[in-house]
Chain A
Amino acid sequence: MKTYLPNRFIVERDPARCIQCEVCVNQCSFDVNYRDADEDEVRSREENCVGCHRCVLFCPTRALNIRRTPLDYRENANWRPEIIEDIIRQAESGGILLTGMGTDKAHPIYWDRLVLNASQVTNPSIDPLREPMELRTYLGRKPDSLTVEPGSLALKTKLAPQVAIEVPILFSALSYGAVSINVHKSLARAATEMGTLFNTGEGGLHRKLYKYGANTICQVASGRFGVHPDYLNVGRILEIKIGQGAKPGIGGHLPGEKVSAEVAATRMIPKGTDALSPAPQHDIYSIEDLAQLISALKEATNYTKPVSVKIAAVHNAAAIASGIARAGADIIALDGIRGATGAAPKIIRDNVGIPIELAIAAVDTRLRQEGIRNQVSLIAAGGIRNSGDVIKAIALGADAVYIGTAALVALGCTVCQQCHTGKCAWGICTSDLRLTKRINPDIGAQRLVNLLRGWSLEIKEMLGGMGVNALESLRGNRLHLRGVGLTDTELEILGVKMAGA
């Protein structure tokens, strides 16, 4: 069938600069650049270009540039180019349209409508270069009160397991198989160096990475891939994955082509078979079933690890979160509509779920109204782009945040949304051995450490500006936020005042 899809990108090659070295040919995993044997010249099949910039950045003579095709349709606010092309694509394929990364639609980004406070006159701002500034956070269930013996000051209360993180930023679930072993290694090393945690995602943990167990969150998802006693016991936190912000309500599908021998061994499935995660966990059809799984995981690990439950932020997130806390979870991870994925139906990624900012506010408020906020830690995920987003999430009520996309961008990702193809030219979201070696775990870890270090320095500056020197004094402290350009209802749900008020 002839495709009616126009090219998306133009590959501009400056003939004066191009030395015909074929680096671009080797770097492109989408089969764009090639040497035309007849003409003996490097050329481009522009129809294949996804705009990932790999060739541009690796061209030794900077001879390449990628531009959007300036092909205009007749103006139409309703039938926009993307909508037309999605229909064309579906008319030609007859299937669900798949995509990768988080939604690219213009859902409101409340981070950009929230502004932070700073001290002036009546209290001094604190300079983090001269004064201590504390970001340490303990994840885990906290009791309502402590009992301390008078006189001896002996602590009589036994606390549930607590996990300290030195920066309030964790690496979000990225499963081995979806991403390569080198990405997992980079994340694990960076988490270890920065005193935080990375999340295995639903594909288990390669035995080579067990030494990073103290900085690992081991996920248990609906496919139960790679879940066995050693796996449960090696991690610091266990996480039951109920849902994901990019695709609430549906499962996952890792195509057999990505299931290499190592991935197969880690996931405990035959090599080359599709790894299908069911939409629900089939032993959790209700809240009491969740309570059973939480308790089973705690029993299996002798009550030494906090158990987290990750849900996609959906309409009833507040009520669901309250149920999760009462079911015995120690941590609730909320993943908003802008959260990313290795592969999801485009229609679901772009239309299902709610923005994370509203979910944090609603869940934190509800748990406080019910007097159980202290029983769980709250981790927010889904579209955290910089340290400003992190600090606003914490002021709204999160204990910490997960970052996924931001971490991948640090490794080289340009958010070209081709994760589902398995052809990632940056070697991130692929199991093609020719591509995965493009991530050097030493350099990858360094880039991630640099990112977290940069963000934590920025967070310290902002905290000091607000006149506080410990992160817990900002957590849930919405008086340090003001809204700009928000409706009364949005302000009410966020629990913040309008700027100027």
Chain B
Amino acid sequence: MIDRDMNKLNNPYNDDKVISACSLFGMMDVSGKVFSGKDIIRAIANMHVRSNGLGGGFAVYGLYPRYADYYAFHLMYMNKQARTETEDLLKENFHMVLAEEIPVNPCIAVSNAPGLWRYFLEPEAASLNGRPADDFVIEKVMQINTCIEGAFVFSSGKNMGVFKGAAYPEDIASYFRLEEYAGYLWTAHGRFPTNTPGWWGGAHPFNILDWTVVHNGEISSYGINRRYLEMFGYACTLQTDTEVIAYAVDLLMRRHKLPLEAAVSVLAPAFWEEIERMPAAKQELHRALRTVYGSLLLNGPFTVIIARQGEMMGLTDRIRLRPLTAATRGDMFFLSSEESAIRLVCPELDRAWIPMGGEPVIARLGGTKVVAEGAVAAAKGAC
């Protein structure tokens, strides 16, 4: 097998990290009702000037109910050989329930489109050898992405999927025919990179298992975030700060089993001054989180929408150097770079607000739990 330098694909000039600005949008029906991509495509298109046509993408949850128990792999292939090699590897390690080309609309003009395939997979018990299936899947994803020339797994969760490419998000949506899909949680991203990778894998959302991250900003702490994660075996192959966020969340929540609220306090912690004003027990927790996980503090301007099955969270850096607006309407919950995009698809809102810097806004299936000061009352229970 060839060891690929992913960096050459994604970061051809070997910059410290891939820098980009962006538009973000997320919408979720907390009752779990699925809806089509029509609205989110309009919403992200409304923020057209926040991106420059070099990256757009979507994540959809509740996407594959018929195959909900199988890992859904979305692959990009630059050549035929890559597909043969990848499929051999998949067949060797997984029970393959379905393999098909992802349907696209060839009339949409996009450049450098790779071959796009999807697979529904179940790890072979023999290959697992007692290990957790998630760890096994991560290992195989990393193996394909770093070892098979011309193949890239860009989605690997269950009952969810990522669609992305190097074009404006609305064109990506048309290309992937996203209006025809339905899900209860959608996130979208339009990208304005400062160089021209032109590589489809570099677009957002970034995904591992069912975690997705869309991100607007530049993480100035990237150098240490990355070195810290390397200590725990994460190879940051893409050299993007978004990748670092996804791995940080994976480490904190899946491997260290921290509750979301605690994980968020690692990524965007309270200031020491604020911590000192907290009640004793809370103070101890926050002090410990900062002391132990200080290297994972995401410093510098960012807004992220992090999603996984049944949950969507918006978060900005602690001094809010990138925009984020949250809104609710009935069972619908919105996150967006700009309020105008929300108003376009849902003119009447129960509430729209700008969360405080570093304060997470979280929506969960079975009723929004909006964790934001003064916002709890506005959150409407459902189901």
User: Interface residues, chain A, CB within 8 Å of chain B?
Assistant: 119, 122-124, 126, 131-132, 134, 136, 138, 142-143, 145-151, 153-155, 157, 159, 162, 368, 371, 373-374, 466-470, 472-480, 497, 501
Distance in angstroms between the alpha carbons of A123 and B114 in the assembled complex: 32
Q: Does B16 touch A at the CB level, under 8 Å?
A: yes
Residues in chain B near residue A473, CB distance under 8 A: 220-221, 224, 294, 297, 299-300
Distance in angstroms between the alpha carbons of A119 and B272 in the assembled complex: 24
User: Which residue of A has the minimal Cβ distance to B20?
Assistant: A122
User: Which residue of B has the minimal Cβ distance to A137?
Assistant: B294
Size of the chain B interface, CB-CB below 8 angstroms: 49
Q: Does B21 touch A at the CB level, under 8 Å?
A: yes
Decide: B16 and A469 in contact? CB cutoff 8 A: no
Q: Does B34 touch A at the CB level, under 8 Å?
A: no
Distance in angstroms between the alpha carbons of A136 and B281 in the assembled complex: 20
Decide: B272 and A134 in contact? CB cutoff 8 A: yes
> A477 is contacted by which of B223, B231, B258 (Cβ under 8 Å)?
B223
Instruction: Find residues 219-266 in chain B having any chain A CB closer than 8 Å to their own CB.
Output: 220-224, 227-228, 230-232, 255-259, 261-262
Residues in chain A near residue B16, CB distance under 8 A: 479, 497
16 A-B contacts (beta carbon < 8 Å): A122-B21, A124-B321, A131-B319, A134-B272, A142-B292, A149-B259, A151-B259, A159-B292, A374-B295, A468-B221, A470-B297, A475-B295, A477-B221, A479-B16, A480-B220, A480-B223
User: Interface residues, chain B, CB within 8 Å of chain A?
Assistant: 14, 16-17, 19, 21, 194, 217-218, 220-224, 227-228, 230-232, 255-259, 261-262, 269, 271-273, 281-282, 284-285, 287-295, 297, 299-301, 318-319, 321
Given A470-B297, A476-B223, A155-B292 contact (CB < 8 Å):
no
Residues in chain A near residue B292, CB distance under 8 A: 142-143, 145-146, 159, 374
User: Which residue of A has the minimal Cβ distance to B318?
Assistant: A469
Given A119-B220, A142-B291, A145-B292, A124-B301 contact (CB < 8 Å):
yes
Decide: A368 and B295 in contact? CB cutoff 8 A: no
Which of B255, B258, B299: most chain A CB closer than 10 A?
B299
Residues in chain B near residue A479, CB distance under 8 A: 16-17, 222-223
Residues in chain B near residue A142, CB distance under 8 A: 291-292
Given A466-B220, A479-B222, A146-B293 contact (CB < 8 Å):
yes
Decide: B221 and A146 in contact? CB cutoff 8 A: no
Given A123-B218, A470-B299, A476-B227 contact (CB < 8 Å):
yes
Residues in chain B near residue A467, CB distance under 8 A: 218, 220, 299-301
> A474 is contacted by which of B218, B224, B256, B285 (Cβ under 8 Å)?
B224
B280–chain A nearest beta-carbon distance, Å: 11
Distance in angstroms between the alpha carbons of A154 and B292 in the assembled complex: 16
Decide: A468 and B300 in contact? CB cutoff 8 A: yes
Distance in angstroms between the alpha carbons of A123 and B220 in the assembled complex: 8
Q: Do most interface residues of chain A lie in helix, strand or loop, or is the interface mixed?
A: loop
Which of A123, A147, A501: most chain B CB closer than 10 A?
A123
> B259 is contacted by which of A138, A143, A148, A501 (Cβ under 8 Å)?
A148
A80–chain B nearest beta-carbon distance, Å: 42
Distance in angstroms between the alpha carbons of A301 and B14 in the assembled complex: 51
Residues in chain B near residue A478, CB distance under 8 A: 223, 227
Given contacts A142-B292, A374-B295, A497-B16, 5 further A-B contacts (CB under 8 A): A469-B318, A469-B319, A476-B224, A478-B223, A479-B17
Residues in chain B near residue A143, CB distance under 8 A: 292
Residues in chain A near residue B300, CB distance under 8 A: 123, 467-468, 473
A360–chain B nearest beta-carbon distance, Å: 14
> A134 is contacted by which of B220, B230, B271, B295 (Cβ under 8 Å)?
B271
Decide: B224 and A373 in contact? CB cutoff 8 A: no
Given A368-B230, A468-B220, A474-B224, A122-B290 contact (CB < 8 Å):
no
> A371 is contacted by which of B231, B256, B258 (Cβ under 8 Å)?
B231
User: Which residue of A has the minimal Cβ distance to B224?
Assistant: A477
> A122 is contacted by which of B194, B232, B269 (Cβ under 8 Å)?
B194
> A153 is contacted by which of B223, B255, B285 (Cβ under 8 Å)?
B285
User: Which residue of A has the minimal Cβ distance to B259?
Assistant: A150
Decide: B231 and A368 in contact? CB cutoff 8 A: yes
Decide: A155 and B288 in contact? CB cutoff 8 A: yes
Which of A124, A136, A477: most chain B CB closer than 10 A?
A477
Decide: A123 and B284 in contact? CB cutoff 8 A: no
Residues in chain B near residue A501, CB distance under 8 A: 14
Distance in angstroms between the alpha carbons of A143 and B288 in the assembled complex: 10
Which of B194, B220, B295, B321: most chain A CB closer than 10 A?
B220
Decide: B319 and A155 in contact? CB cutoff 8 A: no
> A469 is contacted by which of B230, B257, B284, B299 (Cβ under 8 Å)?
B299
> A146 is contacted by which of B223, B272, B289, B297 (Cβ under 8 Å)?
B289
Given A122-B19, A472-B290, A473-B297, A148-B262 contact (CB < 8 Å):
yes
A94–chain B nearest beta-carbon distance, Å: 53
Residues in chain A near residue B285, CB distance under 8 A: 148, 153-155
Decide: A368 and B288 in contact? CB cutoff 8 A: no
Residues in chain B near residue A468, CB distance under 8 A: 220-221, 299-300
User: Which residue of A has the minimal Cβ distance to B298?
Assistant: A473
Residues in chain A near residue B221, CB distance under 8 A: 468, 473-474, 477
User: Which residue of B has the minimal Cβ distance to A150?
Assistant: B259
Distance in angstroms between the alpha carbons of A428 and B16 in the assembled complex: 46
Distance in angstroms between the alpha carbons of A142 and B292 in the assembled complex: 6
Given A145-B256, A475-B295, A368-B227 contact (CB < 8 Å):
yes
Distance in angstroms between the alpha carbons of A478 and B285 in the assembled complex: 29
Distance in angstroms between the alpha carbons of A468 and B294 in the assembled complex: 13
- Of all A-B residue pairs in the complex, the 3 with the closest CB atoms, nearest first, are A479-B223, A472-B294, A473-B221
Which of A153, A371, A473, A478: most chain B CB closer than 10 A?
A473
Distance in angstroms between the alpha carbons of A145 and B218 in the assembled complex: 26
Distance in angstroms between the alpha carbons of A454 and B8 in the assembled complex: 44
Residues in chain A near residue B299, CB distance under 8 A: 467-470, 473
> A475 is contacted by which of B231, B232, B294 (Cβ under 8 Å)?
B294
A319–chain B nearest beta-carbon distance, Å: 18
User: Which residue of B has the minimal Cβ distance to A468?
Assistant: B299
Decide: B217 and A147 in contact? CB cutoff 8 A: no
A96–chain B nearest beta-carbon distance, Å: 44
Residues in chain A near residue B289, CB distance under 8 A: 146
Distance in angstroms between the alpha carbons of A69 and B25 in the assembled complex: 74
Distance in angstroms between the alpha carbons of A147 and B227 in the assembled complex: 22
Residues in chain A near residue B319, CB distance under 8 A: 126, 131-132, 469
Residues in chain A near residue B228, CB distance under 8 A: 476
Decide: B301 and A162 in contact? CB cutoff 8 A: no
Residues in chain B near residue A126, CB distance under 8 A: 319
Which of B290, B291, B319: most chain A CB closer than 10 A?
B291
B230–chain A nearest beta-carbon distance, Å: 7
B249–chain A nearest beta-carbon distance, Å: 14
User: Which residue of A has the minimal Cβ distance to B269?
Assistant: A470
> A472 is contacted by which of B257, B284, B295, B318 (Cβ under 8 Å)?
B295
A374–chain B nearest beta-carbon distance, Å: 7
Residues in chain A near residue B288, CB distance under 8 A: 146, 155, 157, 159
Decide: A138 and B291 in contact? CB cutoff 8 A: yes
Residues in chain A near residue B17, CB distance under 8 A: 479
Residues in chain B near residue A368, CB distance under 8 A: 227, 230-231
Distance in angstroms between the alpha carbons of A131 and B220 in the assembled complex: 16
Residues in chain A near residue B318, CB distance under 8 A: 469
User: Which residue of B has the minimal Cβ distance to A139?
Assistant: B291
Distance in angstroms between the alpha carbons of A126 and B232 in the assembled complex: 31
Residues in chain B near residue A136, CB distance under 8 A: 272
User: Which residue of B has the minimal Cβ distance to A482?
Assistant: B16
Residues in chain B near residue A480, CB distance under 8 A: 220, 223
